[in-house]
Amino acid sequence: MKFCEICNSLMLPSKRGYECTKCNVAVSADVIQYNIERHSRAEPVYVVKNESQNIIVANTCPKCGYNQVNKRIASTIGEHAGVKSDRTILKFRCIACGETWVEV
């Protein structure tokens, strides 16, 4: 934490160093350290999809009843609370009406 030498208000870290919030005076700094306390860390979730996996299968559309749909396979990989998960999601799209639905 750094305070302005002119007006004694709090200076915030910026690209130029430290910058006063009241009088806009900037002081250069060699290294700026950020101390951020985090209570929970968000884990990344990656969605891997391959467009070559679009295939036509025989399945009934819930909206129009047509019997051919595009089937796409997507995989999600993630981690929550130290437990890794990997699941496959099947996505369907009706060729006739364009209705989409998902099966997990």
Domain residue ranges in the chain: 1-36, 45-103
Verdict on whether the full-model pTM lies above 0.85: no
Residues of the chain with pLDDT under 50: 32, 51-52
Second-level CATH architecture of 45-103:
Single Sheet (2.20)
Q: Check residue 46 and give its pLDDT.
A: 58
Residue 69 to residue 66: CA distance in whole angstroms: 8
- The residues that bridge with 86 in the sheet, in sequence order, are 77
Q: Check residue 78 and give its pLDDT.
A: 78
Q: Check residue 64 and give its pLDDT.
A: 93
